Amino acid sequence: MAVPVAVLGAGSFGTCLAMLAARVGDVTLWAREPAVADAINRNHRNPRYLKDAELPESIRATSDLAEALRDREMVIVAVPSHGVRELLGTARDHLLPEAILVSTVKGIEPETGYTMHRVMQDVLDASHHPHIVCLSGPSFASEVAQGKPTVVTLAAAEEAYAISVQTTLSSPFFRCYSSADVIGVELGGALKNVVAIAVGTCDGLDAGMNARAALMTRGLAEITRLGVAMGADPLTFQGLSGMGDLVLTCTGDLSRNRHVGLELGRGRTLPEILGEMNEVAEGVRTTRAAVALARKRGVEMPIAEVVQAVLDEDLGVEEAAVRLMTRQLRGELE
């Protein structure tokens, strides 16, 4: 039986997930701006994101949040991390008690250090907490919209809810695995953006592929250390939401966080770079939160620390590379 789905957020990822869900049922797509919703309904195309993708007629867009959520049994949250708390604070009174909530947001709230699952728990009634599912993994929206093979992970404290989402979203070109390691899946998805900025900076400096491989490997070690300190299963970081997403985000030309790093490495300033982007590079906000979490947990994350220093303009990109290469020598597994 088809599950009525609402997608909150008409950016590129929200749009491609609406297309996926529309294969098996009707979908309401919430857009913040009425003009965007009207254009989608009129032309069956998103005027701002994935402009070349023709949207199924079973997708109905609206800028009215209550209308978008009416009678929806599954709600996919696909807005930038800084908007999740406010959006769900407004949405909670319109949610069905049994609705499954799917977070696709890869970030950490800087003010609290909360992952998005924890933010959602903080905002929503306790009755909704078991129904929260986190989607993460290597998945550029444009490739999903084109029907290119994509594989992701769905994590929930009660894995039965992840399996329910798995059934709704999986298709011959979009495969979902389930997991019970919510914190591991979320941290992998959020922290790889920090490493992608570092790798992009390295590539912008033309430091070479040896350096790129080293940053990715040591970056994964940092992610794993913090994840384990926060209760994650270390094996999660070898999977889709860990290594898989890290490889894609650090090397793919469609990566927004890699783009930020590339331009920093080429000598441009962060305000210049962000001013030209029409989508959020989550790693910029996540870096500060990651460093704060690491210090609180007593975990070393030297790559994240130098990325923060570069973003804050406290350290030049060349000096950042020297700082990492001249740290005290030690065993690889220390």
Which string of DSSP letters, residue by residue, matches 61-84?
EES-HHHHHTT-SEEEE-S-GGGH
Residues 146 and 209 in one domain: no
Same domain membership, residue 143 and residue 39: yes
Contact residues for 332 (Cβ-Cβ < 8 A; gap 6+): none
Could you tell me the CATH number of the domain that includes residue 219? 1.10.1040.10
User: Quick check: is 148 catalytic?
Assistant: no
- Does 228 share its domain with 124? no
135 shares a domain with 208: no
pLDDT score, position 298 = 96
Shared domain check, 215 and 150: no
Do 212 and 249 have their domain in common? yes
Clarify whether residues 139 and 279 are in a common domain.
no
- Based on the fold, state whether residues 136 and 12 are members of the same structural domain: yes
Do 225 and 77 have their domain in common?
Answer: no
**Domain assignment of residue 201, yes or no:** yes
State which residues form the domain around 316: 190-325
Helix, strand or coil, per DSSP, at residue 227: helix
- Whether 334 maps to a domain, the answer reads no
In a domain, 312, yes or no: yes
> How do the pLDDT tens digits run along the chain, 334 residues long?
578 999 999 999 999 999 999 998 899 999 999 999 999 999 999 999 999 999 999 999 999 999 999 999 999 999 999 999 999 999 999 999 999 999 999 999 999 999 999 999 999 999 999 999 999 999 999 999 999 999 999 999 998 999 999 999 999 999 999 999 999 999 999 999 999 999 999 999 999 999 999 999 999 999 999 999 999 999 999 999 999 999 999 999 999 999 999 999 999 999 999 999 988 899 999 999 999 999 999 999 999 999 999 999 999 999 999 999 999 999 998 8
3-state SS, residue 100? strand
Residue where a domain terminates, one of 153, 180, 207 = 180
53 in Cβ contact with 16 (< 8 Å): yes
Residue 185 lies inside a defined structural domain of this protein: no
Q: How many domains does the chain have?
A: 2
Where among 180, 202, 233 does a domain terminate? 180
The CATH number that applies at residue 14 is: 3.40.50.720
Tokens of residue 223, six digits: 């992610």
Catalytic residue among 51, 106, 148, 192: 192
Nearest to 31 by CA among 7, 53, 57: 7
Question: Which two three-digit tokens encode residue 303?
Answer: 């790559």
Return the bridge partners of 176, or none. Answer: 152
Q: Could you say which of 128, 146, 180 is where a domain stops?
A: 180
- DSSP strand pairing (132-136 vs 150-155): antiparallel
Percent helix, strand and coil across the chain, each to the nearest 5: 55, 10, 35
Q: Which residue has the tokens 């406290």?
A: 314
Q: Is residue 333 part of a domain?
A: no
Which pLDDT score, from 0 to 100, does residue 24 have?
Answer: 85
pLDDT on residue 183: 97
For 125-138, b/e burial (b = at least 16 CB within 10 A) is eeebeebbbbbbbb
Return the pLDDT at 1.
57
Look at residue 260 in the predicted model and tell me its pLDDT.
97
For residues 174 and 212, membership in a common domain is answered with no
Any domain includes 330:
no
pTM of the model: 0.95
Answer yes or no: do 255 and 124 share one domain. Answer: no
Cα separations in angstroms, 200 against 96, 194, 205, 275, 283: 42, 10, 9, 18, 12
Q: Tell me what pLDDT residue 2 has.
A: 76
Establish if 331 belongs to a structural domain.
no
Same domain, 143 and 291: no
Q: Does residue 332 lie within any of the structural domains?
A: no
